[in-house]
């Protein structure tokens, strides 16, 4: 009845969601890399800024930590507490 090759060529075979997930993960890695490079240029990170491991699924707390936003939030909390 159905040709197996035609069914596997169909967009409903799962390829679009898989590629979307991969592209989001790659975009998150690129954003983390740029954020870490920026922190390094400000003198906030050592030479190991370019090495990191982004697990799947990439949770928001982990992405924030890898971007260095946890350091920024701690600094802002400290700065606000001084006033």
Q: Which residues are catalytic?
A: 15
CA distances from 72 to 40, 66, 82 (A): 13, 12, 15
**Residues 37, 39: Cα–Cα separation, whole Å:** 5
């Amino acid at each position: 009845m159905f040709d197996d090759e035609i069914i596997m060529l169909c967009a409903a075979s799962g390829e679009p969601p898989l590629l979307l997930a991969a592209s989001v993960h790659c975009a998150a890695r690129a954003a983390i890399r740029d954020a870490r490079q920026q922190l390094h240029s400000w003198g906030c990170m050592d030479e190991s800024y370019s090495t990191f491991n982004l697990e799947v699924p990439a949770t928001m707390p982990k992405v924030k930590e890898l971007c260095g936003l946890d350091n920024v939030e701690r600094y802002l909390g400290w700065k606000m507490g001084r006033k």
